[in-house]
């Protein structure tokens, strides 16, 4: 089973409440998934990308926010 963790929460996002999740593929490739979790039973994927290590500390914290 894959592992994932919520790394940023955006309750006041213009698209509705959303969050950034760090997940990993079966082969261990890191992915950031930005999803909307408004009052619907399903998540809506806003964007998905492989985090750039030049912009993230251990894939979990933005370097400009450290």
- Residues whose CB is less than 8 angstroms from the CB of residue 2 and which lie 6 or more positions away in sequence, other chains included: 23, 24, 25, 26
Q: Is residue 66 scored above 80 in pLDDT?
A: no
More confident residue, 2 or 29: 29
Mean pLDDT within 38-49: 86
Residue 52 has a CB neighbour count (10 Å cut-off) of 10
Burial (Cβ within 10 Å: 0-12, 13-18, ≥19) of residue 10? middle
pLDDT digits (tens, 9 = 90+) for 9-33: 999 988 789 999 999 999 999 999 9
21-30 as b/e, with b when 16 or more CB fall inside 10 Å? bbeeeeeeeb
Instruction: Work out the percent of the chain whose per-residue pLDDT is above 90.
Output: 70
Q: Where are the alpha helices (DSSP H) in the chain?
A: none
Q: What is the pLDDT of residue 65?
A: 64
């Amino acid at each position: 089973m894959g592992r994932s963790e919520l790394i940023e929460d955006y309750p006041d996002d213009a698209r509705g409440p959303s969050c950034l999740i760090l997940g990993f593929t079966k082969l261990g490739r890191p992915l950031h998934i930005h999803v909307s979790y408004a009052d619907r039973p399903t998540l809506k994927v806003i964007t998905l990308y492989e985090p750039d290590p030049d912009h993230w500390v251990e894939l979990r914290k933005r370097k400009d926010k450290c």
